Amino acid sequence: MTKIFAYAIRDDEKPFLEEWKNAHKDIDVDYTEELLTPETAKLAKGADGVVVYQQLDYTPETLQALADAGVTKMSLRNVGVDNIDMDKAKELGFEITNVPVYSPDAIAEHAAIQAARILRQDKRMDEKMAKRDLRWAPTIGREVRDQVVGVIGTGHIGQVFMQIMEGFGAKVIAYDIFKNPELEKKGYYVDSLDDLYKQADVISLHVPDVPANVHMINDDSISKMKDDVVIINVSRGPLVDIDAVIRGLDSGKIFGYVMDTYEGEVGIFNEDWEGKEFPDKKLADLIDRPNVLVTPHTAFYTTHAVRNMVTKAFDNNLAMVEGKEPESPVKLDKD
């Protein structure tokens, strides 16, 4: 019987894993809540493939241990593959898949909701209400329809975000080195990032973490933005030089910051720090600011998205095990 073993299965994933098992009764499915490491790789012995999700690196040691257990077909339940040692994976003959699209709407909705909350100064008003301060001023909001919204990156998520912002009545402009022909026909694109910085009241990032994009939001780029700009990062932490954002917040240049991803998030996000010493002073400072909305990489975290992540990963893995072409294979060769 074909067997698939899954790592790091969370409680919220278990109902969807059971759905998949019930629909594939001829497949033996087993799992652990532990992450894939060189030590836990042996749990997959006897399996034909593994399904994984983790922020830890897939190191040469981890991949070797998995190969030693007889498994070289690995399906990620997430998008990112930058934490895989591709040279080692190729050397060992790994086949790898990911889930590049699980719910663009989940992430775009989160960005839009948080942006609107920043513009209406909801966090400040919530703090006033908690103290029974029911005065209006000076907590006056800005309407989304009065904003020029600049979208950097017009892939699946960026396009949904654009639609939502237009639904509010905002003017939307965009920049992408890979232009979408339909969006180009409709005149959304500006010629350069500097053009977008100059025009946008709200700037939302929807680009990958590649070397050219690291710290694209920095002192220089912020200086080119309009006063009272709102910046949104629900994509990848390294896109933003957080020290530059803090300086922009301190100076008043930045009206508000929406942050779902953080460059130093591994080992901090998705942990309970209540009653413990918090390990990151900058992050603590951002969380406490009335014009910053921090969420711990949960923009994707909806029932719709999690179901798709589990289902698509298991479908991919079964396809590989059966010698078929999976829906979303990962290229192991480095460009």
Residue percentage of the chain with pLDDT more than 90? 93
pLDDT at residue 22 is higher than 60: yes
Mean pLDDT, to the nearest integer, of 185-196? 98
Tell me, what's the pLDDT at 241?
Answer: 98
- Quote the CA–CA distance of 102 and 316 in Å, as a whole number: 13
Q: How much is the CA Rg of the chain, to the nearest whole Å?
A: 22
The residue among 201 and 56 whose pLDDT is bigger is: 201
pLDDT at residue 335 is higher than 60: no
Tell me, what's the pLDDT at 91?
Answer: 97
Annotated catalytic, 13?
no
pLDDT digits (tens, 9 = 90+) for 59-70: 999 999 999 999
pLDDT at residue 54 is higher than 90: no
Give 12-18 contacts, CB < 8 A, sequence gap 24+. Answer: 12/303, 12/306, 13/77, 13/306, 13/309, 13/310, 16/306, 16/307, 16/310, 16/311, 17/310, 17/314
Mean pLDDT (the chain) is 96
- Quote the CA–CA distance of 171 and 71 in Å, as a whole number: 51
Residue percentage of the chain with pLDDT more than 70? 99
pLDDT at residue 112 is higher than 80: yes
Tell me, what's the pLDDT at 333?
Answer: 79
Tell me, what's the pLDDT at 25?
Answer: 95
Tell me, what's the pLDDT at 334?
Answer: 60
pLDDT digits (tens, 9 = 90+) for 268-308: 999 999 999 999 999 999 999 999 999 999 999 999 999 99
Annotated catalytic, 236?
yes
* Residue 109 confidence class, pLDDT cut points 50, 70, 90: very high
Mean pLDDT, to the nearest integer, of 145-174? 98
In single-letter form, the type of residue at position 279 comes to P
Which is catalytic among the residues 265, 274, 277, 325? 265
pLDDT digits (tens, 9 = 90+) for 225-256: 999 999 999 999 999 999 999 999 999 999 99
Nearest to 7 by CA among 45, 46, 27, 37: 37
pLDDT at residue 158 is higher than 80: yes
Which is catalytic among the residues 236, 277, 289, 304? 236
Nearest to 67 by CA among 79, 76, 59: 59
pLDDT at residue 56 is higher than 90: no
